[in-house]
Amino acid sequence: MLEGKRIVVTGGSGFMGSHVVEALQRRGVREIVVPRKRDYDLVDREGCRRLLADAKPDVVFHLAARVGGIGANRENPGLFLYENAMMGVQLIEECRLAGVKKLVIAGTICAYPKFAPVPFREDELWNGYPEETNAPYGVAKKLLLVQAQAYRQQYGMNAIMLFPVNLYGPRDNFDLQSSHVIPAMIRKCMTARDQGAAEVKLWGDGSPTREFLYVDDCAEAFVLAAEKYDDPDPVNIGTGHEITIRDLATQIAEAVGYKGRFVWDASQPNGQPRRCLDVTRARERFGFVAKTSLAEGLRKTVAWAEQQRAQGAL
């Protein structure tokens, strides 16, 4: 059990990480260290070393990442590969040297091959190259899986790696230059609604499918795995249900109250054709089943965004 443990959550002030911190607090964990980049730059190995020396954790959740939507990935492939690889590789090595008892690492669905059979099963991770627009990020994360398994084999390190599907929820990034699809659609629909615009332009043709996981459910999965899972195998974290981007846009418009139409810009990339996970392993290995439906999660996310908009923060 995690109560009484001293825990570091890298990325703990970010979107997913802040929800993991809250899930740990609900478990009764009182000693949680959330490093900030200004104090511990994890891209610099010395930052990793100082963090562990100062915090002396029993457990580390490595959730910090340089992330973004298709546009951000396409504009920063080198940066996304370098920073994600360096943060992870160096932190894992320093955790080994510091004798950290357990390390929980966040992977990404972007690591899967572009044409992986649907639903994606963990055994398919190496059967092809990731979709081109986010391949550097995905490959950087796959490297960490290899490292975690190699360190378990050679050093007996208890490092596990979970691969969450696309996340959404309160405190997500709503910056249109770097956000993922759900917050971007919500913000565009809100702006169009408030301005009385007749149309909203969206990327691609709306045909790809995606699976979405409410962030609180993801946080619960990571904490459950920290408590109950100790094997080398990667584990998918998701709902097991996919939806087309076109149908997602319709649901978001209804949740926001936008009455106009969508115009699809097919000159922009669609990204991976389909994304949907096989979530059997998470259920069987440590009992995780997502509880929040997409409709309910969208309502909660829109409500949070409306509050932020009313305060002038969005």
Task: Using DSSP bridges, classify how beta strands 243-244 and 209-210 pair: parallel, antiparallel or unpaired.
Answer: antiparallel
Candidate list 82, 112, 129, 137, residue with the active-site label: 137
Query: Does 137 qualify as catalytic in the annotation?
Result: yes
Q: Is 130:138 a contact under the CB 8 Å cutoff?
A: yes
CA torsion sign for 74, 207, 183, 200 is positive
Amino acid at 229: Y
In whole angstroms, give the CA distance from residue 185 to residue 246: 11
Q: 297: which 2 tokens?
A: 């999660």
Active site residues: 137
